[in-house]
Amino acid sequence: MLPRLLGQGAILAVAFVGGLAAATSGVPAGWMSGAMVAVTAFAATGRAKPFLPPLRDFVIVLTGVSMGSGATPDALGALLHYPLSIVTMAVAVGAMTASAYAVLSRSPGFSRATALFASIPGALSYVFVAAQGTTADMPRVAITQVFRLFVLMAVVPLLASRLGASPPPSTAFDPALTTLVLAVCSFALAFALTALKIAPPYLYAAIGVSALAHATGIAPGRPDPTIQLATQVLVGGWVGTRFIGFDWSLLRSLIWAAFGAFAAALAAAAAFAALSAALTKAPYVQVLVAFAPGGLEAMTMMAFALGLDPMFVGAHHLARFLLISLALPLVARLVAGTPPPAKQVPRNMIVAQDD
């Protein structure tokens, strides 16, 4: 047990130092992106350990509580704008997948199945599981997908700052004890959801508990800034741990294909975000972060760091996750078929939530 705890302590220390260095340097969303870069570099040394399940679940709950804190009465009134934007986002998911697939299917070593699963914009864990029954080359899928996530978290804060993302507005903050109580209640509800086989339980539970508390006025505002920064560091560190056991030599041979697929998907997201912003009158930078092909936890915390509406961003990423979960089996059957199982992806890249 002691070596495992020391390993977790080392990861957290590296994440904190990386986040502090980036934030001090003025990097947008520096606490999160700096933690990610630092832990990724630590993973490359071969000494980093993945997050243990309790720590990973704690990160998910904190993210869910943060996301649910946006469910103020005023924010809930803005839900009238969400349906049109979410429909546009659903079309954007298809466009992002198709554009990335067009790049990868023409790249050396990418079969139709490999290109398809490497092109899905999100739901990383689910993609890995769904791809196991196909001929997809799992190392290529994993490297392309994780590369997308890494570059997205590095690029989006810089892009958002250029497009006019403002500092977080002044608002009421929840006492730390309130956030702790919400987290405890979230874990209790998550156990019930687990028994009912509802997934992902920790995320749904935390969003539900926090949204109810904030919508009814029990909790007055957003999590304390210190808790927000700690959550950003934890999310950044968690993303960085996915590079543990990463095949860096294979990455070098796939770098241009992976970057081309990422650029094509981001261009599609940007175009549809512009359309959605025009239709809903929402700020373009906020819609872009909501449409970007990244993970729910990372993008929600990035919304906090950039001063955007986390409820808006989180709702779109959650909808994207559900859409991919429902549509992928059908698309995979049409494009990839179901031949003998493929090579396995490294276990540390399979996590419980969206990427």
Q: What is the pLDDT of residue 199?
A: 66
pLDDT in tens, 95-124: 999 999 999 999 998 999 999 999 999 777
**236 in a structural domain:** yes
**355 in a structural domain:** no
**354 in a structural domain:** no
**83 in a structural domain:** yes
d(CA 304, CA 320): 19
Domain count, the chain: 1
Q: What is the pLDDT of residue 270?
A: 94
Q: In CATH, what number is assigned to the domain containing residue 213?
A: 1.20.1530
Q: What is the pLDDT of residue 342?
A: 47
Cα 43 to chain center, whole Å?
A: 19
Q: What is the pLDDT of residue 166?
A: 54
The whole domain housing 314 covers 2-349
Q: Which residues of the chain have pLDDT under 50?
A: 338-342, 350-354
**16 in a structural domain:** yes
**327 in a structural domain:** yes
Q: What is the pLDDT of residue 183?
A: 94
**237 in a structural domain:** yes
**131 in a structural domain:** yes
Would you say the pTM of this structure is higher than 0.85? no
In DSSP notation, 169-229 reads PP--B--HHHHHHHHHHHHHHHHHHHHTT-SSHHHHHHHHHHHHHHHTTSS-SBPPHHHHH
Largest CA distance in the chain: 56
